[in-house]
Chain A
Amino acid sequence: MGAIGRFLKNIMTNRAMLLMVLPGAIWFLFFSYLPMFGTIIAFKEYRFSRDGFLASIFNSEWVGFDNFKFLFSTNDAYIITRNTVLYNFVFIILGLVLSVALAIILSEIVNKRLAKVYQTGMFLPYFLSWVIVGYFVFSFLSFDKGMMNQILGWFGAEPVQWYSEAKYWPVILTLVSLWKGIGYSSVVYLAAIMGIDKSLYEAAMIDGANKWQQIKAITIPMLKPLMTILTLLAIGKIFYADFGLFYQVPRDSGTLYSVTNVIDTYVYRGLKTTGEIGMTTAAGLYQSVVGFILVMTSNYIVRKYDKDNALF
């Protein structure tokens, strides 16, 4: 019996399991692997062909790295990279500090019922779509009816055209992102705090440690592995921006692009409005490749630090 025979026999003995993975495997093939293959468009001058996807790819002419050269010769590449990385960096740092602080505060509140009520409230934004959040933000920032301009009016200040003044948006986007994300991440940290062995605190109390010392000497060190891992994983994704935040919340306002355009919105607009398929694919591939390198690197660091918590 040859290798092929053995292979067929393996297929037969595993057929039930293979049938179970089949639907999912087909999905991955079409929605993940075929697009990965499609990234060669980035090295071509894409021409749509009526004979379908593969014909379109093969009939398009090779242009080497021209699309990338063109992308990086514009100022856009710099702006979208800067915006994506800087925003994510700020979100990661502030998100970490605030959600750990909130988790500790929640865990210390004496009335557990109330703590649960607060937690439920904080969790709400996680369940809302960016479209809805966009409406919420508009109710505050609308020029003629919004609450912010009313408040400015009480102090005799001039109303602000929020949706066309770029300088306010780094702060607005940061606040909105934190508002939506902190409840969710503090819940994860709170679960970890609940898992800390209570006898550690009892021992500390017998030694006369006060609450603050207990938090510094027990809670935070016990949370450190989780903090490290979640942060490194977030750094691995620093090249990916939250499309909804940067597209819905500023209402796709053109005058704000200098501070709201990120790689994901750039790629979307390239695909849907300007239609520069080759260069847009190149921008997407640039994001995927750098993202891949970052995930691998951060995972390598996690592995070194704590093997059990590495992604792979």
Chain B
Amino acid sequence: MAKSNAKSQDFHQLSKGWNIGANLIAGIFAFLCVFPFLFVLIISFTDEKSLATNGYQIIPEKWSLEAYRYVFQTGDTLLRSYGVTIFVTVVGTIISLCVIALYAYAVSRKSFRYRNFFSFFAFFTMLFNGGLVPTYIVATQVLHLKDSIWALIWPLAVNAFYIMILRTFYSTSVPDAILESGKIDGASEFKIFYKLVLPLSLPGLATIGLFSTLGYWNDWFNALLYIDNPDLVPLQSMLMRIETSMQFILQNSQNSSLSMSALQSLPQDTSRMAMVVLATGPIVLAYPFFQRYFIQGLTIGAVKE
């Protein structure tokens, strides 16, 4: 019995040669996906002098911790940017989850008279938008978000696509009978949502929450648009600014001693790479444990109700 089972499994499997081929292709591609991060990690541990003579190397001539020492010693900007990013990510994700969870729940309820209207109200924004310029003008002139920390939070808070995903999730994972039983017990709508629906929809909320966390952590676009105040610059945007000011100095004032000293005040190659590592580190360490929620969200999104 066991023997025939094993045999049929063998037959189902790829032959040895093809299996090696498949492993090679997938393995090489997977390696290429991870390699640039490893490369930057190596550069960040390279000695600045050996980097200046040899360029970026996979196996540097001399290793060094100097870059990290520099980053942590002069790390005011990095620390502040970390603070901004963490604040924006935490507060943004909480706001975003609350707003989206409530909206999606209401439009998932068949007893809600205006559910079609509000579904469409959200959905239409996926089809048509006013474009960047009017959005920018509204945000700066009506909402006065310029140089405010909220400029990094509100624009990403709501997303019609997440509402659609969560609505699908509610309607498949929260049975109507439970809502009915709550009603018969005389619970208010908010109580039903809080006591009965939320516990059942935790996996869905986790998915949306993680999408939202990733979106806030990786955001640089809103900072590019709205933030000039150096105290409010998030991590990704700070990395971008270092790059831009560096290029600016290099292009605009060659061989003047002033520009040389300006250039030296900016972090060196290795330190910049160390900052990249520190900005990406949390994600790289965390995502293997959370990836199944992302896969779940992607597949719900692709195969909707």
Residue numbers of A with Cβ under 8 A of B are 10, 13-14, 16-18, 20-21, 23-25, 27-28, 30-39, 41, 52-53, 56, 102, 105-106, 108-111, 114-115, 117-137, 139-140, 142, 144-147, 149-150, 179, 182-184, 187-188, 191-192, 201-202, 205, 211, 226, 229-230, 243-244, 248, 251-252, 264, 267-268, 270-272, 277, 280-281, 284-285, 287-288, 291-292, 295-296, 309, 312
Contact = CB atoms under 8 A, between A and B. Distances in A.
Nearest to A253: B247
Given A34-B138, A147-B56, A121 B155 contact: no
Contacts of B55: 142, 144-147, 149-150
A183 B33 contact: yes
Name the prevailing secondary structure of the B interface residues. Answer: helix
A108 B22 CA distance: 8
A38 B138 contact: yes
A134 B243 contact: yes
A107 to B, nearest CB: 9
B168 to A, nearest CB: 13
Given A118-B30, A123-B287, A139-B36, A24 B299 contact: no
B302 A230 contact: yes
Contact of A145 (B56, B131, B298): B56
Contacts of B299: 188, 191-192
Contact of A124 (B12, B33, B217): B33
17 contacts: A38-B137, A38-B138, A108-B14, A118-B29, A124-B33, A126-B294, A128-B37, A134-B243, A135-B40, A135-B276, A136-B40, A150-B55, A188-B302, A211-B18, A288-B131, A292-B128, A296-B127
Contacts of A53: 137-138, 141-142
A271 B132 contact: yes
B178 interface: no
A39 B137 CA distance: 11
B32 interface: yes
